[in-house]
Amino acid sequence: MRVARLIALIVAGAASAPAAALDYRSAASPAILYDTPSAQGKRLYVVSAGSPLEVVVTLEKWVKVRDREGHLAWIERSALADGQTVVVTAERATVHQQADDTAPASFEAVRGVILSVSGPVRGAWLPVRHADGDRGFVRRIDVWGQ
């Protein structure tokens, strides 16, 4: 009986704990990802400059990251930029002038386009900037990396 109560308390406590915010970074330039935190490790693949990566583990000189397909790999910490980016996952994402579906469109981005995050989340919307300078708000469900 005591064990069951203890388990119930642990489960209830875990369920009520605040969710940890995910940390995303982007590749500063094209970068090699490895299977181990070492340049002598197996080279898995190269990510493009600006590619968003979810930080999983941080060591002194290496960071374990997850890409948008869910692959886990290691990248040199110095290869990561401070700025945050997202990648369009929808077939087409309309970037609006305001954080509202009825606002005029600023531009459209197709799947795979990388956008820079230009401010804090506004509910279901994320302020972004395209490489050519166009700005606006994209629906968060249309992108990955935030």
**Domain coordinates in residue numbering, the chain:** 21-81, 85-144
How does DSSP assign the chain, residue by residue? Answer: -HHHHHHHHHHHHHHHSPPPPPEEEEESSSEEEESSSSTTS-EEEEEPTT-EEEEEEE-SSEEEEE-TT--EEEEEGGGEESS-EEEE-SSEEEEESSSSTTSPEEEEEETT-EEEE-S--BTTEEEEE-TTS-EEEEEGGGEE--
Is 21-81's fold the same as 85-144's? Answer: yes
What local confidence, expressed as pLDDT, does residue 2 receive?
52
**What is the third-level CATH fold of 21-81?**
SH3 type barrels. (2.30.30)
Q: What is the pLDDT of residues 27-62, one digit of tens each?
A: 999 999 999 999 999 999 999 999 999 999 999 999
Q: How far apart are CA 70 and CA 68, in angstroms?
A: 5
What local confidence, expressed as pLDDT, does residue 22 receive?
83
Q: How far apart are CA 132 and CA 116, in angstroms?
A: 11
Please state the CATH superfamily assignment of the domain spanning residues 85-144 in this structure.
SH3 Domains (2.30.30.40)
What local confidence, expressed as pLDDT, does residue 12 receive?
41
Q: How far apart are CA 27 and CA 11, in angstroms?
A: 37
